[in-house]
Amino acid sequence: NYDSGIPGNDEAGQKSAWYVFSSMGFYPMAPGSGEFQLSSPIFSEIELNLDPKYYPGKRLKIVVDKNDTSKVFGSIYYNDENYGSMLTQENLEKGGKLRFSNSKK
């Protein structure tokens, strides 16, 4: 390998992982920080089944009230509690429902 990298390398999967996270509406702020920045999901509904061997929650459901690309989220609710723009690793592991309520720009 040269210091310029490997042709076609996806930064060891980093870019793909960022895209998957971002598509679901959240992405890690920094490796190992345990904090996730929230953003607009590209899907109207996503359900992640969590392995009970590793996570206390059974599933994490992500819902967008009105999936419209001309809008941005106005409020975010985690298990019906109004949240800011960040979630923690612990929130995600517990599962539950993450709801994005959209509002016009």
Whole-model pTM: value is 0.78
Tens digit of each residue's pLDDT (9 = 90 or more) over 26-75: 999 887 899 999 988 889 899 999 999 999 989 999 999 875 554 577 78
Give the mean pLDDT of the chain. Answer: 83
Task: Kindly report the CATH number assigned to the domain that includes residue 96.
Answer: 3.30.2080.10
DSSP 58: S
Classify residue 96: in a domain, yes or no.
yes
Q: Is 55 exposed, middle or buried (0-12, 13-18, 19+ CB in 10 A)?
A: middle
Residue 5 lies in a domain: no
How many domains are there within the chain? 1
Contact between residue 40 and residue 63 where contact means Cβ atoms under 8 Å apart: no
Q: Is residue 6 part of a domain?
A: no
Which domain does 71 fall in, by range? 11-104
Residue 74 domain flag: yes
Q: What is the mean pLDDT of residues 12-37?
A: 87
Percentage of residues of the chain with pLDDT beyond 90? 49
CA terminus-to-terminus distance, the chain = 46
